[in-house]
Structure 1
Amino acid sequence: MTRGLWAALVALADRVRGDDPERGDVPGWVMITVMTAALVLAILIPFREAIVTAVQNALDSVTSGG
């Protein structure tokens, strides 16, 4: 019982310290998320009217024609 508890505590300590190679790179993921949002805005702002028109046409063709 004590050995299992000790092993669990050691595993938890390793995980908190960040020794896990599966943990990932948080600042890298934040940068990717921010850059993706900026890219979406860069595309959306100049082409908003065309995108809205295309989506409306697609929805109209699905709902009106069968």
Structure 2
Amino acid sequence: MSHLLFLLVRLQATLVVARGRRDERGDVPGWVLVTLMTVGLVGAITAVAQPQLTRMLSNALAKVQ
């Protein structure tokens, strides 16, 4: 009976530790996903609008000089 009690206590301790680890790791994939999506959006917008952005920057710099 004491062996069964020991196993139950050990199982509970393992589950508590596993739950704590899972909670800590839960934020990282979301953060990484947001970062990668942002990079993708900036890359896509830059690819589509690069000529217009270059023209706008050139015009702005020409007005300053």
Q: So what's the TM-score if we normalise by structure 2?
A: 0.56
Distance, in Å, in 1 between the alignment partners of 2:40 and 2:23 is 32
Cα displacement (A) at 1:31: 0.3
CA drift of 1:26 comes to 1.1
Tell me how large the CA RMSD over aligned residues is. Answer: 2.3
**Per-residue deviation, 1:28:** 0.7
Within 1, Cα distance between the matches of 2:51 and 2:61? 15
Identity %: 45
| SS of aligned partner of 1:45 | helix
Letter of the structure 2 residue corresponding to residue 39 of structure 1: L
Q: Could you give the per-residue CA deviations for residues 23-62 of structure 1, whole angstroms, max 9, x where no partner exists?
A: x811111000000000001111111110011011112212
Structure 1, gaps ≥5 residues long: 1-16
Letter aligned with residue 58 of structure 1 = A
Structure 2 CA distance, aligned partners of 1:18 and 1:44? 37
| Structure 1 partner of 2:56 | 54
**1:57 partner letter:** N
Structure with the bigger percentage of helix = 2
Structure with more contact order per residue of length (Cα contacts < 8 Å, sep ≥ 6): 1
- The aligned counterpart of 1:27 is 29
Aligned residue pair count: 45
